[in-house]
Amino acid sequence: MACASALQPRAPRATHRSATASHKLCDFLPPILCCGRATRFQCDDFHDGGVEGGKHLKATAAARDNKTACVAGAEHVTYQWVDCERAFIAQRYDRIAGLIGLFDRLLFLPLDLRRRAAARLSLKPGDRVLEIGCGTGRNFSFLREAVGPGGKIYGVDLSRGMLGRARALCRREHWRNVHLTQCDASEYIPCEPLDGILFSLCYNTMPHHRAVLRHAWKHLHPGGRIVIMDGKLPHGLGGKLVLPFCLWLMKHTVLGNPFIEPWNDLAATAHEFEMEEFLFGSWYVCWGTKSTRIQELPTTMEHLLAAE
């Protein structure tokens, strides 16, 4: 991108991991099609940003403002294509509900990325997990592997078309422990505390993403995890080259703001935070753990929301 983020990793301790052994297909495919090698960052690999505990709320806001100002067309993307009526967002995804699998292939979504995201929730049999932006249910099989038939999976999405396909999948597979709701994620009230929450390819499509994150933390058990899985602009020259395509794609198909940095929001509000990147930084999974000292969280989130 034209302007570098104020929150670039500081000499990160990178570890490389191969794709999950159980996903045997990846053993026979080029790394570019799988998760392949992943660069992993931990919370203390990021700059302080002037906020207690290694958090970086002020720097997050500055990076976002600088980036928006220096990239041609960013304001149009940020404030018109994304900050729009929920009904418009729902209609857009209703229209492309049948093409989600195609988009996965066209955008080189790593084959094992969904499994990795589910694994980072650290769920146990019998746990309760919420997927925000569950779409057509492409992550449900991995979540069911984790929680088992005795656990519960809750899915939330704005799109009736997406949920229609998800319900059909659940009927076809006889998944009776999957419960789906069409609503705004910031208004969803689970009927029981949650052990894990997954944001799946949706965080940067929500104009009120920080409010949704704050709402999610409130309904998570202390010690539970939030995982965000999504795509982003690659590092360096690659990001500049693919930016025009990303802007075109978001205008005509999937919505989203490529200048949002969800990992900073999560790192600033989590007790523990880690992140993995794949395919030259084009895809990532980041996860944070809820502090057992619950009183710390609302104050941190209020700072984040005030920075918008």
Q: pLDDT at position 100, please?
A: 67
Q: Percent of the chain scored above 90 by pLDDT?
A: 41
- Residue 131 scores a pLDDT above 60: yes
Domain residue ranges of the chain, discontinuous segments joined by +: 77-258+297-308
Residues 216 and 218: their CA atoms lie apart, in Å, by 5
Say how many residues make up the chain.
308
- Residue 256 scores a pLDDT above 90: no
Select the more confidently predicted residue: 296 or 210: 210
Q: pLDDT at position 54, please?
A: 30
Q: pLDDT at position 235, please?
A: 73
Mean pLDDT on 257-264: 84
Residue 305: pLDDT band with limits 50, 70, 90: low
Q: pLDDT at position 307, please?
A: 55
Q: pLDDT at position 249, please?
A: 66
CATH class, 77-258+297-308 region: alpha beta
- Residue 80 scores a pLDDT above 70: no
Residues 257 and 74: their CA atoms lie apart, in Å, by 9
Work out the widest C-alpha separation in the chain, in whole angstroms: 52
**Digit-coded pLDDT (tens) for 136-164:** 999 999 999 999 999 999 999 999 998 99
Q: pTM score > 0.75 for this model?
A: no
Q: pLDDT at position 300, please?
A: 56
- Residue 273 scores a pLDDT above 80: yes
Residue 296: pLDDT band with limits 50, 70, 90: low
**Digit-coded pLDDT (tens) for 39-77:** 555 555 543 433 233 333 333 333 333 333 333 333 344
- Residue 83 scores a pLDDT above 70: no
Residue 301: pLDDT band with limits 50, 70, 90: low
- Residue 241 scores a pLDDT above 70: yes
| Average pLDDT of the residues of the chain | 72
Question: Which residue, among 198, 49, 204, has the nearest Cα to 130 in the 3D structure?
Answer: 198
Residue 113: pLDDT band with limits 50, 70, 90: confident
Q: Percent of the chain scored above 70 by pLDDT?
A: 57
The half-sphere exposure of 223 on its side-chain side, counting CA atoms within 13 A, is 4
Within a 10 A sphere around the Cβ of 78, how many other Cβ atoms?
19
Q: What is the 3-state secondary structure (H, E, C) of the chain?
A: CCCCCCCCCCCCCCCCCCCCCCCHHHHHCCHHHCCCCCEEEEHHHCCCCCEHHHECHHHHHHHHHHHHHHCCCHHHHHHHHHCCCHHHHHHHHHHCHHHHHHHHHHCCCCCCHHHHHHHHCCCCCCCEEEEECCCCCCCHHHHHHHHCCCCEEEEEECCHHHHHHHHHHHHHHCCCCEEEEECCHHHCCCCCCEEEEEEECCHHHCCCHHHHHHHHHHCEEEEEEEEEEEECCCCCHHHHHHHHHHHHHHHHCCCCCCCCCHHHHHHHHCCEEEEEEECCCCEEEEEEECCCCCCHHHHHHHHHHHCC
**Digit-coded pLDDT (tens) for 276-294:** 988 777 789 999 999 876 4
Q: pLDDT at position 239, please?
A: 64
The half-sphere exposure of 16 on its side-chain side, counting CA atoms within 13 A, is 5
Q: pLDDT at position 78, please?
A: 42
Q: pLDDT at position 222, please?
A: 94
Q: pLDDT at position 8, please?
A: 37
For 250-289, give one letter per residue: b (16+ CB within 10 A) or e. Answer: beeebbbbbbbbbbbbbbbbbbebbbbbbbebbbbbbbbb
